[in-house]
Structure 1
Amino acid sequence: MKKWIIPVVIIAAIVIIGFFWAMGIKNGALGKSQAVGSAWGNVETAYQRRNDLIGNLVETVKGAANFEKSTLVEVIEARSKATSVQVNAADATPEQLEAFSRAQANLMGSVNKLIGNVTVEKYPELKANQNFLKLQDELASTENTIQTVRTRYNESVQDYNNYVLRFPNSMFLGEYKEKPYFKSVEGADKPVEVKF
C-alpha cells in the first residue's frame, strides 16, 4: 500500500466528519427556529380566539338597549388596534413584542371595563343572559390559555437562543439571530388598584 493514501484517507475522513457535524448544527438550529415559529403561532391562535370572543361579547352587550355605548366603542377600537399589530416570529424584535403586548393589554383593559360595568351597574338582563355568562367563562379560560402559550413560547425561545448562541454552534450559525422573549407590559409588576 502506498504511504500517501493513509494521510489522504485521514484528511477525507476528518472533512466528512466535519461536514456532517456542521450539517447537524445547522439542522438543529433550523428545527429550534421552527419550534419558536410554531410556539408563536400558538400565541397568535390564542389571541385570535380571545378577539373572536370579544366580538361576540360586544354583540351580546349591544343587545342591551340602554347600555353605555362609549364603553362598547372603546372596546371595539381597542380590539381593532390589537388586531392591527402583527409580529413575525422569524424576525421579531423586542420592540414589536412590546407593541403587541401593549395593544393586547389596552384591549383587555377595555374589556374589563365593559364587564365591570355590567357586573357593578344595574343590567339585570345582561347579568342573567346565558350567552353573556358563557362568553365571560370562555374569556377567562382563554386568558389562561394565553398565559400557557406565552410561557411555552418563551421556553422555545430560551431553547433556541441557548442553541444558537452557545460556542461552537455560534461559529456556524451567524445568520441565526437571538430571538426576543415575550415580556409583560410596563406596570404589570405593580398590584392592581381596585376602586369601588
Structure 2
Amino acid sequence: MLPTFITIAVIIAVVVLWIISTQRRLVVLDENISNAMSQIGVQLSSRFDALTALLDLTKGYAKHESETLIETIKSRRSVITAKSTPDDVLRQEGIISEALGRIAMVTEQYPELKANQTYIKTMDAVQTFENMVRTSRLIYNDSVTKLNREIRMFPVSMVSGMLGFRQRDYLEEQAGKAIMPSMK
C-alpha cells in the first residue's frame, strides 16, 4: 500500500510541477507580447508628435487644412497600451496615413515647403519612427507566434485554457498604406 501511495504522490507532484512550469513559460510569452504592444504604442506616440510638428510647419502654407487636420488627429488619437488590440494599432496607423497623405498634397502645392530644412528633418523623424514601429510590429508578431505555437501544442493545449491563456491576433500590414511624401 505504501509504495502505491508514494507512486501516486510522485505522479501528482510531477504533474503539479509541470503545470507550474507551463504556467510560468506561458506568462513569459504573454508578457513579451504585452511589452511589444507597449513598444508599438511608444513609437506611435512619438510618430504622432513628429506628425503634429510637421503639421505645425504646414500652417504657414495651408492654415485651414493644417488646423483641421490637427484637430482631427487630436480627436481621433488614442494611446496604445499593453492591453490594446491589433485593430487599435491599425486604426491609429490609419489616422497617421491619412494625415501623411494630406500633408503630401499640401507639399505638392508648395515646393518651398518641401525644400524647407525643418520640414525635411521632421519628415526624417516621421520616417524613423515608422521604421521603429515596423520593427516593433515584427517583434510583436514573433512573440505572438511563440505563444500561439506553445498554446496549440500537446500537452500544453490541455491546460492553457484552464490557466487563462488564449491565442493572440497578429498585426496585419495595413492595406493601401499612404506613401511618404518625398522630401526632395
Which category of TM-score, normalised to the shorter sequence, fits these structures?
0.7 to 0.9
Shift of the alpha carbon at 1:171?
1.4
For the 8 Å contact 1:36–1:156, the answer to whether it is kept is yes
Divergent runs of 4+, >4 A = 86-90
Q: What is the aligned length?
A: 177
Q: Percent of pairs identical after alignment?
A: 21
For the 8 Å contact 2:34–2:82, the answer to whether it is kept is yes
Correspondence 1:75-114 to 2 at 5 A:
75-84=69-78, 89-90=82-83, 96-114=85-103
Give the stretch that moved more between structures: 128-137 or 146-155. Answer: 128-137
Shift of the alpha carbon at 1:80?
2.2
Q: What is the TM-score of this pair, normalised by structure 1?
A: 0.78
For the 8 Å contact 1:40–1:153, the answer to whether it is kept is yes
What is the rounded CA distance, in whole Å, between the counterparts of 1:76 and 1:43 in structure 2? Answer: 22
CA RMSD of aligned residues (A): 2.4
What is the rounded CA distance, in whole Å, between the counterparts of 2:82 and 2:31 in structure 1? Answer: 9
Shift of the alpha carbon at 1:43?
0.7
For the 8 Å contact 1:32–1:159, the answer to whether it is kept is yes
For the 8 Å contact 1:102–1:185, the answer to whether it is kept is no
Hey, what does 2:182 align to over in structure 1? none
**Structure 1 spans left out of the alignment, 5+ residues:** none
What is the rounded CA distance, in whole Å, between the counterparts of 1:151 and 1:71 in structure 2? Answer: 34
1:73 to 67, 74, 86: 67
Letter in 1 for 2:102: K
Shift of the alpha carbon at 1:107?
2.5
2:170 to 177, 181, 187: 181
For the 8 Å contact 1:71–1:110, the answer to whether it is kept is no
What is the rounded CA distance, in whole Å, between the counterparts of 1:148 and 1:116 in structure 2? Answer: 28
Hey, what does 1:151 align to over in structure 2? 138
Letter in 1 for 2:70: I
Shift of the alpha carbon at 1:88?
5.3
Provide, for residues 170-193 of structure 1, a one-character-per-residue CA deviation record: whole Å limited to 9, x for no partner: 2111121111111133445xx97x
Q: What is the TM-score of this pair, normalised by structure 2?
A: 0.83
**Structure 2 spans left out of the alignment, 5+ residues:** 180-184
Correspondence 1:30-45 to 2 at 5 A:
30-45=27-42
**Structure 1 residues 87 and 61, CA, compared in 2 at 3 Å: closer, same or farther?**
closer
Q: Secondary structure at the match of 2:77?
A: helix
For the 8 Å contact 2:50–2:122, the answer to whether it is kept is yes
**Structure 1 residues 138 and 52, CA, compared in 2 at 3 Å: closer, same or farther?**
same
For the 8 Å contact 1:157–1:179, the answer to whether it is kept is yes
For the 8 Å contact 2:46–2:129, the answer to whether it is kept is yes
For the 8 Å contact 1:81–1:103, the answer to whether it is kept is no
What is the rounded CA distance, in whole Å, between the counterparts of 1:104 and 1:168 in structure 2? Answer: 38
1:23 to 20, 23, 27: 20
